[in-house]
Protein backbone atom coordinates (compact mmCIF):
# COMPACT_ATOMS: atom_id res chain seq x y z
CA UNK A 1 0.00 0.00 0.00
CA UNK A 2 1.39 3.39 -1.00
CA UNK A 3 2.15 5.83 1.81
CA UNK A 4 0.64 9.20 0.86
CA UNK A 5 2.21 10.93 3.83
CA UNK A 6 -0.99 11.77 5.73
CA UNK A 7 -0.28 11.44 9.46
CA UNK A 8 -3.24 10.85 11.76
CA UNK A 9 -3.04 9.58 15.34
CA UNK A 10 -5.84 7.11 16.09
CA UNK A 11 -4.07 5.42 19.00
CA UNK A 12 -6.47 3.90 21.51
CA UNK A 13 -9.42 3.96 19.14
CA UNK A 14 -11.41 1.01 17.85
CA UNK A 15 -12.43 1.18 14.19
CA UNK A 16 -14.86 -1.19 12.47
CA UNK A 17 -14.77 -1.46 8.69
CA UNK A 18 -17.36 -3.43 6.74
CA UNK A 19 -16.47 -4.91 3.38
CA UNK A 20 -12.87 -5.08 4.56
CA UNK A 21 -11.93 -8.24 2.68
CA UNK A 22 -10.86 -6.53 -0.55
CA UNK A 23 -10.60 -3.33 -2.57
CA UNK A 24 -11.38 -0.04 -0.88
CA UNK A 25 -12.36 -1.71 2.38
CA UNK A 26 -9.01 -3.45 2.67
CA UNK A 27 -7.14 -0.20 1.93
CA UNK A 28 -9.16 1.64 4.57
CA UNK A 29 -8.64 -1.05 7.19
CA UNK A 30 -4.88 -1.06 6.57
CA UNK A 31 -4.68 2.75 6.71
CA UNK A 32 -6.67 2.97 9.95
CA UNK A 33 -4.50 0.31 11.57
CA UNK A 34 -1.32 2.04 10.38
CA UNK A 35 -2.57 5.16 12.16
CA UNK A 36 -2.86 3.30 15.46
CA UNK A 37 -6.48 2.13 15.57
CA UNK A 38 -7.44 -1.40 16.53
CA UNK A 39 -9.32 -2.48 13.41
CA UNK A 40 -12.28 -4.84 13.40
CA UNK A 41 -12.46 -6.12 9.83
CA UNK A 42 -15.92 -7.31 8.75
CA UNK A 43 -17.05 -9.18 5.64
CA UNK A 44 -18.59 -12.52 4.71
CA UNK A 45 -15.43 -14.19 3.43
CA UNK A 46 -13.24 -15.20 6.39
CA UNK A 47 -10.30 -16.28 4.21
CA UNK A 48 -10.10 -12.91 2.44
CA UNK A 49 -10.55 -11.10 5.75
CA UNK A 50 -7.55 -12.97 7.08
CA UNK A 51 -5.51 -11.71 4.13
CA UNK A 52 -6.43 -8.18 5.17
CA UNK A 53 -5.45 -8.90 8.76
CA UNK A 54 -2.17 -10.47 7.65
CA UNK A 55 -1.35 -7.24 5.78
CA UNK A 56 -2.24 -5.19 8.86
CA UNK A 57 -0.06 -7.36 11.10
CA UNK A 58 2.85 -7.31 8.64
CA UNK A 59 2.79 -3.50 8.82
CA UNK A 60 2.81 -3.56 12.63
CA UNK A 61 -0.89 -2.84 13.11
CA UNK A 62 -3.45 -4.56 15.30
CA UNK A 63 -6.94 -5.86 14.69
CA UNK A 64 -9.26 -8.82 14.39
CA UNK A 65 -11.58 -10.38 11.84
CA UNK A 66 -15.32 -10.76 12.36
CA UNK A 67 -17.08 -12.62 9.50
CA UNK A 68 -20.67 -11.41 9.21
CA UNK A 69 -23.52 -10.98 6.74
CA UNK A 70 -24.10 -7.25 7.05
CA UNK A 71 -27.77 -7.54 6.08
CA UNK A 72 -28.71 -9.77 9.03
CA UNK A 73 -29.92 -7.74 12.02
CA UNK A 74 -29.32 -10.29 14.77
CA UNK A 75 -25.78 -11.00 13.56
CA UNK A 76 -24.95 -7.29 13.32
CA UNK A 77 -26.37 -6.46 16.74
CA UNK A 78 -24.46 -9.35 18.32
CA UNK A 79 -21.22 -8.32 16.61
CA UNK A 80 -21.44 -4.69 17.74
CA UNK A 81 -22.36 -5.73 21.28
CA UNK A 82 -19.41 -8.11 21.40
CA UNK A 83 -16.91 -5.55 20.09
CA UNK A 84 -18.09 -2.84 22.48
CA UNK A 85 -18.03 -5.23 25.44
CA UNK A 86 -14.59 -6.62 24.59
CA UNK A 87 -12.89 -3.28 23.93
CA UNK A 88 -15.04 -0.95 26.00
CA UNK A 89 -15.61 1.35 23.03
CA UNK A 90 -16.30 1.67 19.33
CA UNK A 91 -14.85 4.95 18.10
CA UNK A 92 -15.03 4.71 14.31
CA UNK A 93 -17.47 3.00 11.94
CA UNK A 94 -16.82 2.80 8.20
CA UNK A 95 -19.82 1.47 6.27
CA UNK A 96 -18.12 0.26 3.12
CA UNK A 97 -19.75 -3.11 2.30
CA UNK A 98 -21.27 -2.96 -1.15
CA UNK A 99 -22.17 -5.08 -4.15
CA UNK A 100 -23.43 -4.50 -7.69
CA UNK A 101 -26.02 -6.37 -9.71
CA UNK A 102 -26.04 -4.25 -12.85
CA UNK A 103 -28.75 -4.40 -15.50
CA UNK A 104 -31.26 -2.00 -17.03
CA UNK A 105 -34.29 -1.46 -14.81
CA UNK A 106 -36.91 -3.08 -17.11
CA UNK A 107 -34.89 -6.29 -16.91
CA UNK A 108 -33.96 -6.05 -13.23
CA UNK A 109 -35.24 -8.87 -11.03
CA UNK A 110 -36.56 -8.46 -7.51
CA UNK A 111 -33.50 -10.32 -6.22
CA UNK A 112 -31.11 -8.01 -8.07
CA UNK A 113 -32.80 -5.01 -6.46
CA UNK A 114 -33.10 -6.54 -2.99
CA UNK A 115 -29.56 -7.93 -2.86
CA UNK A 116 -28.01 -4.53 -3.55
CA UNK A 117 -30.31 -2.54 -1.26
CA UNK A 118 -29.96 -5.07 1.58
CA UNK A 119 -26.17 -5.09 1.46
CA UNK A 120 -25.40 -1.48 0.57
CA UNK A 121 -28.13 0.41 2.45
CA UNK A 122 -29.76 -1.91 4.98
CA UNK A 123 -26.33 -3.12 6.10
CA UNK A 124 -25.19 0.45 6.77
CA UNK A 125 -28.44 1.16 8.62
CA UNK A 126 -28.03 -1.89 10.86
CA UNK A 127 -24.40 -1.19 11.75
CA UNK A 128 -25.02 2.51 12.26
CA UNK A 129 -28.06 1.99 14.46
CA UNK A 130 -26.20 -0.47 16.69
CA UNK A 131 -22.91 1.44 16.83
CA UNK A 132 -24.43 4.88 17.31
CA UNK A 133 -25.95 3.84 20.64
CA UNK A 134 -22.49 3.21 22.09
CA UNK A 135 -21.06 6.35 20.49
CA UNK A 136 -23.83 8.49 21.95
CA UNK A 137 -23.17 7.15 25.44
CA UNK A 138 -19.45 7.80 25.03
CA UNK A 139 -20.18 11.23 23.52
CA UNK A 140 -17.66 10.55 20.79
CA UNK A 141 -17.75 8.86 17.43
CA UNK A 142 -16.95 9.00 13.75
CA UNK A 143 -19.34 7.40 11.24
CA UNK A 144 -18.17 7.36 7.61
CA UNK A 145 -20.40 6.02 4.86
CA UNK A 146 -18.80 5.03 1.56
CA UNK A 147 -21.19 6.26 -1.12
CA UNK A 148 -20.39 6.76 -4.81
CA UNK A 149 -20.63 9.34 -7.54
CA UNK A 150 -23.38 7.06 -8.86
CA UNK A 151 -25.45 8.15 -5.87
CA UNK A 152 -24.99 11.78 -6.91
CA UNK A 153 -25.47 11.67 -10.68
CA UNK A 154 -26.89 8.20 -11.39
CA UNK A 155 -25.58 5.66 -13.87
CA UNK A 156 -27.42 3.70 -16.56
CA UNK A 157 -27.76 0.06 -15.60
CA UNK A 158 -27.29 0.83 -11.92
CA UNK A 159 -30.66 2.00 -10.65
CA UNK A 160 -30.35 -0.35 -7.67
CA UNK A 161 -26.76 0.64 -6.87
CA UNK A 162 -27.36 4.36 -7.41
CA UNK A 163 -30.48 4.24 -5.23
CA UNK A 164 -28.55 2.51 -2.44
CA UNK A 165 -25.75 5.08 -2.55
CA UNK A 166 -28.13 8.04 -2.77
CA UNK A 167 -29.90 6.55 0.24
CA UNK A 168 -26.60 6.45 2.11
CA UNK A 169 -26.07 10.13 1.37
CA UNK A 170 -29.55 11.00 2.64
CA UNK A 171 -29.00 8.92 5.77
CA UNK A 172 -25.66 10.65 6.33
CA UNK A 173 -27.15 14.12 6.21
CA UNK A 174 -30.14 13.26 8.39
CA UNK A 175 -28.14 11.38 11.02
CA UNK A 176 -25.59 14.16 11.30
CA UNK A 177 -28.40 16.37 12.58
CA UNK A 178 -29.42 13.75 15.14
CA UNK A 179 -25.99 13.00 16.57
CA UNK A 180 -24.16 16.32 16.36
CA UNK A 181 -24.87 17.32 19.97
CA UNK A 182 -23.30 14.06 21.17
CA UNK A 183 -19.96 14.80 19.46
CA UNK A 184 -20.61 12.09 16.87
CA UNK A 185 -19.89 13.14 13.29
CA UNK A 186 -21.46 11.49 10.25
CA UNK A 187 -19.97 11.99 6.80
CA UNK A 188 -19.88 10.26 3.42
CA UNK A 189 -17.13 9.70 0.88
CA UNK A 190 -18.21 9.36 -2.75
CA UNK A 191 -15.49 7.74 -4.88
CA UNK A 192 -15.45 7.88 -8.66
CA UNK A 193 -13.43 5.44 -10.75
CA UNK A 194 -10.86 3.82 -8.45
CA UNK A 195 -8.31 1.10 -9.25
CA UNK A 196 -9.90 -2.28 -8.44
CA UNK A 197 -10.70 -5.66 -9.92
CA UNK A 198 -13.95 -4.11 -11.13
CA UNK A 199 -12.25 -1.32 -13.08
CA UNK A 200 -9.62 -3.70 -14.46
CA UNK A 201 -12.43 -5.81 -15.86
CA UNK A 202 -13.50 -2.88 -18.04
CA UNK A 203 -10.45 -3.46 -20.24
CA UNK A 204 -7.84 -0.98 -21.55
CA UNK A 205 -9.99 0.50 -24.33
CA UNK A 206 -12.93 1.37 -22.07
CA UNK A 207 -10.62 2.62 -19.33
CA UNK A 208 -9.02 5.00 -21.81
CA UNK A 209 -12.47 6.39 -22.62
CA UNK A 210 -13.23 6.76 -18.91
CA UNK A 211 -10.00 8.69 -18.34
CA UNK A 212 -11.03 11.19 -21.02
CA UNK A 213 -14.02 12.14 -18.82
CA UNK A 214 -11.80 12.77 -15.78
CA UNK A 215 -9.96 16.11 -15.53
CA UNK A 216 -7.18 14.40 -13.56
CA UNK A 217 -6.76 12.10 -16.61
CA UNK A 218 -6.33 8.96 -14.52
CA UNK A 219 -8.08 6.41 -12.33
CA UNK A 220 -7.88 7.02 -8.59
CA UNK A 221 -5.99 4.86 -6.11
CA UNK A 222 -7.61 3.08 -3.14
CA UNK A 223 -5.09 4.81 -0.88
CA UNK A 224 -6.44 8.20 -1.96
CA UNK A 225 -9.92 7.26 -0.78
CA UNK A 226 -8.48 5.77 2.41
CA UNK A 227 -6.67 9.06 3.12
CA UNK A 228 -10.00 10.92 3.04
CA UNK A 229 -11.47 8.36 5.45
CA UNK A 230 -8.47 8.86 7.76
CA UNK A 231 -9.10 12.60 7.92
CA UNK A 232 -12.82 12.18 8.62
CA UNK A 233 -12.00 9.59 11.30
CA UNK A 234 -9.59 11.93 13.06
CA UNK A 235 -10.21 14.36 15.89
CA UNK A 236 -9.18 17.12 13.49
CA UNK A 237 -12.46 16.58 11.63
CA UNK A 238 -14.61 17.22 14.69
CA UNK A 239 -16.38 20.20 13.08
CA UNK A 240 -17.03 18.40 9.80
CA UNK A 241 -20.36 16.58 9.71
CA UNK A 242 -23.19 15.94 7.26
CA UNK A 243 -20.80 16.33 4.32
CA UNK A 244 -20.18 14.33 1.14
CA UNK A 245 -16.54 14.30 0.10
CA UNK A 246 -16.30 13.44 -3.60
CA UNK A 247 -13.09 11.68 -4.64
CA UNK A 248 -13.31 11.45 -8.42
CA UNK A 249 -10.49 13.46 -9.99
CA UNK A 250 -12.99 16.21 -10.88
CA UNK A 251 -15.25 13.98 -12.98
CA UNK A 252 -18.56 15.42 -11.79
CA UNK A 253 -17.34 18.91 -10.81
Catalytic amino acids?
Answer: 161
Name the phi and psi angles at 233, rounded to 5.
-80, -10
Q: What are the DSSP calls for 14-27, one per residue?
A: EEEEETTTSHHHHH
As a whole number of angstroms, the distance between CA 172 and CA 185 comes to 9
Those residues whose C-beta lies under 8 Å from the C-beta of residue 192, and which sit 6 or more positions away, are: 148, 149, 214, 220, 246, 247, 248, 249, 251, 252
Reported in sequence order, the residue ranges of the chain that DSSP labels E, i.e. its strands, are 14-18, 38-43, 62-67, 92-95, 141-146, 184-191, 244-247
Amino acid sequence: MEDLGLKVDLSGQVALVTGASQGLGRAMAIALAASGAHVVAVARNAAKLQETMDAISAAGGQGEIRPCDVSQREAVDALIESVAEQHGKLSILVNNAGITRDTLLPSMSDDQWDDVINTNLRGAFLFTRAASRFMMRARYGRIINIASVSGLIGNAGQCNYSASKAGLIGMTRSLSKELGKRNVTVNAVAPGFIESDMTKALGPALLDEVKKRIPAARIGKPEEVAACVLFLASRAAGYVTGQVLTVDGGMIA
